[in-house]
Structure formats: C-alpha cells, structure tokens
Amino acid sequence: MAGVRLSPYLLESNRKIFGILLLLASLLLSGCFYNDDPPPTSATGKQMYTEYCASCHKANGLGKFLMGIPANAAHRLSRAEVIKLIREGDPRYPRMPVFPQIKFSQADKIAHYLTELKEQQ
C-alpha cells in the first residue's frame, strides 16, 4: 500500500500556519514577568506598580483583555483587599501572583496609586 503524499504547497502552508501559531503563543506567554526582588523602601507607588504590576496590567491599568488579565484601574476592591491580594493572594484571583516581599506599607502605596489610576480613567 502506497503512503499518502502531500503536495509541497500544502506542506509549506502547514509550516507557515504552525510558525504563526508558535509566534502568537510565545507573544501571549511573554506578556507578564514576575519580580521576586524586594522594592527599595524609598520606592513610590507608581514606581512599584511599574516594576511589579504593569507588565501584566499595563502602565495605564487597563489590563490585557485577550489574555484574561483584568483592568486593575477599574477594580472594586477595598484598599485592604488590594493590599491583601498583593501580599497574600486571594482565591477569587488564582492567576494573580503573590508578592510577599512587598511590605504592607509598600502595598499600601501601590493601592493608593491604583486609586490615582482609577481617577484618571
């Protein structure tokens, strides 16, 4: 029984589709970066947001809808909930990384900066 032969055009077409899918997957997976270094004590809320949050939630806080990352500039969490989410996590947001190296006072600065972002929207 003879094997099935695919035309060279079909093989090249499949390679191109596979290449495009591989590129898209790598772009989606490289969208967020986790930093486990503690921030300097003098860092502002904006600086810490930029360092720890913006790679996923964007600098403007609007998130990445296609990746399922919510807009944190439009959150409805209390300040205490935001601080807890940053430092300890929350089962309601299992994909959110936890940053235990950020002190309570620093997380409070980030929460305050989120309030500023929310007001800018």
pLDDT at 50: 95
Give me the domain span that covers residue 76.
32-120
Residues 6+ apart with CB under 8 A from 71: 57, 61, 62, 63, 65
Residue 54 lies in a domain: yes
Residue 93 lies in a domain: yes
pLDDT at 113: 96
Q: Tens-of-pLDDT digits for all 121 residues of the chain?
A: 556 665 666 556 667 776 566 544 544 444 577 788 899 999 999 999 999 999 889 999 888 887 778 888 778 899 999 999 999 999 998 989 999 999 999 999 999 999 998 888 7
Residue 64 pairs in a beta bridge with 69
Residue 62 lies in a domain: yes
Residue 42 lies in a domain: yes
Within 13 Å of residue 33, how many CA atoms lie on the same side as its CB?
11
Q: Which residue has the tokens 């309570």?
A: 104
Residue 23 lies in a domain: no
How far is residue 87's CA from residue 83's CA, in Å, rounded to a whole number?
6
User: Domain tally for the chain?
Assistant: 1
pLDDT at 29: 47
Residue 85 lies in a domain: yes
CATH classification of the domain holding 83: 1.10.760.10
Residue 98 lies in a domain: yes
Residue 16 lies in a domain: no
